[in-house]
């Protein structure tokens, strides 16, 4: 898994709440059986003026100049700023894959949908939840200038220039995995014997679940 420890980058202010996973990566792109290559279709319906299909040469498509990702100052942005309930809707991990493939490393929002939030960690993306006042402040700052943030996961802080803007909360276990780039499956398989002995007791008690 990708590690995340420390990151500085340009903020992409996407001023919307309830950004759903259908918007992040429309369904026609979910037909891929790979984990990569979704970046050019991130926010496809908003980003291009004509409908997109898998396999198209995206560089030939007409872009929507109004959309934030198409503005030159944000093309290399790596921190997405959004409002409430980001990533709601389906469980598709294609959403964080597309975000990562575009080059976004962290998402700062007022709130996230549960499944999306989890999926981010599995892909080395750091989702940061901040209070509404903080989010409002960041949107204001990003309005008049290209805003750069520095995120330090170890100290759980976000800084602007060299000043700490705010600290943030994060679950200890998730933080540990992200900093060390740990693969959950490997970690869980270290408990193989524990799972096996759980199963033995479990199927003794709930025997109807054990029969094929």
- In the complex, the residues that contact other proteins under the rule CB under 8 A are 15-18, 20, 22-23, 26-28, 30-35, 45, 51, 54-55, 83-85, 88-93, 96, 111-115, 118-119, 122-123, 171-173, 184-185, 188-189, 191, 194-195, 198-199, 202, 206-209, 211-212
Nearer to other proteins among residue 7 and residue 16 (C-beta) = 16
What's the closest the beta carbon of residue 59 comes to other proteins, in angstroms?
20
What's the closest the beta carbon of residue 161 comes to other proteins, in angstroms?
27
Residue 134 has phi, psi (to 5 degrees) of: -65, -45
Structure tokens at 141: 């700052």
Q: CB count, 10 Å around CB of 191?
A: 10
What's the closest the beta carbon of residue 8 comes to other proteins, in angstroms?
27
Nearer to other proteins among residue 7 and residue 129 (C-beta) = 129
Residue 73 has phi, psi (to 5 degrees) of: -70, -15
What's the closest the beta carbon of residue 116 comes to other proteins, in angstroms?
8
Nearer to other proteins among residue 55 and residue 162 (C-beta) = 55
CA–chain centroid gap for 149, Å, is 17
Nearer to other proteins among residue 129 and residue 148 (C-beta) = 129
**Residue 178's closest CA among 159, 204, 152?**
152
Residue appearing with tokens 């004509």: 50
Nearer to other proteins among residue 164 and residue 189 (C-beta) = 189
Provide the CB-side half-sphere exposure for 155 (13 A, CA).
12
First vs last C-alpha separation in the chain: 35
What's the closest the beta carbon of residue 47 comes to other proteins, in angstroms?
12
Nearer to other proteins among residue 89 and residue 148 (C-beta) = 89
Structure tokens at 192: 């193989």
β-pair partners for 157: 152, 167
What's the closest the beta carbon of residue 182 comes to other proteins, in angstroms?
11
48 touches 36 (CB < 8 A) = no
Which residues touch 102 (CB under 8 Å, ≥6 apart)? 39, 42, 69
């Amino acid at each position: 898994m990708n590690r995340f420890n420390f990151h500085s980058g340009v903020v992409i202010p996407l001023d919307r709440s309830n950004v759903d996973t259908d918007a992040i990566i429309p369904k026609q792109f979910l037909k891929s059986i790979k984990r990569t290559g979704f970046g050019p279709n991130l926010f496809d319906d908003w980003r291009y003026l004509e409908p997109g299909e898998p396999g198209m040469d995206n560089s030939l498509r007409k872009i929507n100049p109004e959309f934030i990702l198409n503005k030159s100052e944000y093309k290399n942005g790596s921190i997405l700023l959004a409002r409430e309930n980001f990533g709601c809707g389906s469980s598709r991990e294609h959403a964080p894959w597309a975000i990562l493939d575009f080059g976004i490393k962290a998402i700062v929002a007022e709130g996230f949908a549960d499944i999306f939030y989890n999926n981010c960690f599995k892909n080395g993306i750091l989702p940061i939840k901040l209070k509404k006042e903080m989010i409002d402040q960041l949107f204001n700052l990003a309005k008049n200038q290209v805003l750069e943030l520095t995120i330090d996961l170890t100290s759980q802080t976000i800084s602007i220039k060299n000043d700490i803007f705010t600290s943030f909360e994060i679950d200890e276990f998730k933080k540990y995995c992200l900093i060390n780039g740990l693969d959950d499956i490997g970690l869980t398989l270290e408990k193989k014997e524990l799972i096996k002995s759980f199963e033995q007791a479990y199927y003794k008690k709930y025997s109807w679940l054990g029969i094929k």
